[in-house]
Amino acid sequence: QSALTQPRSVSGSLGQSVTISCTGSSSDIGAYKYVFWYQQHPGKAPKLMIYDVNKRPSGVPDRFSAFKSGNTASLTISGLQAEDEANYYCCSYAGTYVFGSGTEVTVL
């Protein structure tokens, strides 16, 4: 199963918004509601930010939002903060799991 496609990097200034896309197929993202997003700082373990397309776990700020349309999922970070600078990975479950290629978010 091929990795989901994400932009290699996105950047934004403090307080601005950035959106990360995650493109799959009708067999994964397009098929089910099981799309997840993880944040990973260098040298750290991934942290769950979004599950089931658009749900935030307890403790994740509401400036993180997500949605899905067809075979593409998107994560938006509003009001960008310095601590949001990290790598972000999407993930889809459709019997097995496939991760995205990862997107580096830079806060200017």
Partner 1 sequence: EVQLVESGGGLVQPGGSLRLSCEASGFIFSRYWMHWVRQTPEKGLVWVARLNGDGVGTTYADSVKGRFTISRDNAKNIVYLQMNSLRADDTAVYYCAREGSGSYYTDYWGQGTLVNVSS
> Contact residues for partner 1 (CB under 8 A)?
1, 3, 34, 36, 38, 44-48, 51-52, 57, 89, 91, 93, 95-102
Give the nearest distance from C-beta 66 to partner 1 in angstroms: 12
Nearest approach in angstroms of CB 89 to partner 1 is 5
DSSP strands (E only) in the chain: 9-12, 18-23, 35-40, 47-50, 64-69, 72-77, 86-93, 97-99, 103-107
Query: 3-state class of 30 per DSSP?
Result: coil
Please say which residue, 38 or 64, places its beta carbon nearer to partner 1.
38
Nearer to partner 1, 78 or 87 (CB): 87
101 burial (CB, 10 Å; 0-12 / 13-18 / 19+) is middle
CB of 105 to partner 1, least distance (A): 15
